[in-house]
Amino acid sequence: MKEYNELMEWIESNLNKKITVSELATKAKCSERYLRTWFKKKTKMSPSEYILKRKLTQASFMLRETSRPITDISLMFGFEHQTAFSRSFKRFTGTSPIKYRFSEMRDMNNFCPSETVKDVPCIVNSVSLNNKKLKITKNKIIRVNFGMDFLMLTINGSLLPKKNLFIQIMDFIFKQEDIDNVTIYGEQKPGIGCDTILNIIAGDFVNSDNSEYDSITVSGGNYICFTFSGTPEELMSYHTWARGHGLHKYGAILRNSSSLASFHTGFEPGIFISYYYLPCDLVRQT
């Protein structure tokens, strides 16, 4: 039968369609019975269960971070009726799509990792941050549209962020005059006239307000901190992994708040270290 990764990649690139077990068996060149047995052994789920949970996992991102109507999201992932989507989503997350969208806390245990994505080596800590003031040195607002589908892209098991967004964020971060120590504050909100508005701010921490410069307050509370090392391209991929697969791996309860990252030069040319903070409670160490 077809290689495991090849079949899983095909599933991932077709989550916007109805996928039947019969169709999968044809792709894998095996019987439906053998496919179910093989799938259960690999994923601990039936093919139908895995596909449904992957669709709902992707839909949950769209609900969290975009203004896309629920009806449109349900159609994006091959649900013929919004009521069927809502029932499936509530069974998966324990809450309705509308309540999930406006919730202050999201349990990332209700997330189905993609079998196409490899684990990312990193150091993880649970930290508590007090309210901090960040002096704004520059900022950029990016309006994001995901188009008619929202499908995850991978190369050799590494996640690829949306290309245009990926380039804009990399240019903003890594073209700083002093990249040796730069702090980036990221605020992602549902957009008006677009799916998502991303406000990214570069700045320095200060001890108090000062009318001579603009500043923002970084919310205090518990955070999960992922420490990564790599090239700018690798770090963007790692951050994308952390926002979904990483939070799920460590059993995080994601708060509806903004993220924070600091970047430092590494010990080799072109290599950087990033500390990526996401607002979370109840982090489980593995």
* Spans of all domains in the chain: 4-103, 123-281
Tens digits of residue pLDDT in 36-48:
999 999 999 999 9
Mean pLDDT of 119-130: 92
The reply to whether 4-103 and 123-281 are identical in fold is: no
Residue 269 has φ and ψ, to the nearest 5°, of -60, 135
* pLDDT value at 87 more than 90: yes
Angular region, 230: left φ>0, alpha ψ -120 to 50, beta rest: left
Q: What is the pLDDT of residue 165?
A: 77
Nearest to 89 by CA among 74, 105, 68: 74
* pLDDT value at 221 more than 80: yes
Q: What is the pLDDT of residue 162?
A: 64
Tens digits of residue pLDDT in 184-207:
999 888 888 888 899 999 988 887
* pLDDT value at 122 more than 90: yes
CB atoms closer than 10 angstroms to residue 99: 12
* pLDDT value at 94 more than 80: yes
234 band by pLDDT with thresholds 50, 70 and 90: very high
Residue 260 has φ and ψ, to the nearest 5°, of -145, 140
Domain 123-281 in CATH 3.10.350.10? The answer is no
Average pLDDT for the chain:
88
Mean pLDDT of 97-121: 94
Q: What is the pLDDT of residue 167?
A: 83
β-sheet bridge partners, residue 180: none
Q: Which amino acid is located at 151 in the chain? A: L
Fold classification of 4-103 (topology level): Arc Repressor Mutant, subunit A (1.10.10)
Q: What is the pLDDT of residue 5?
A: 81
Instruction: Kindly report the pTM of this predicted structure.
Output: 0.90
* pLDDT value at 77 more than 60: yes
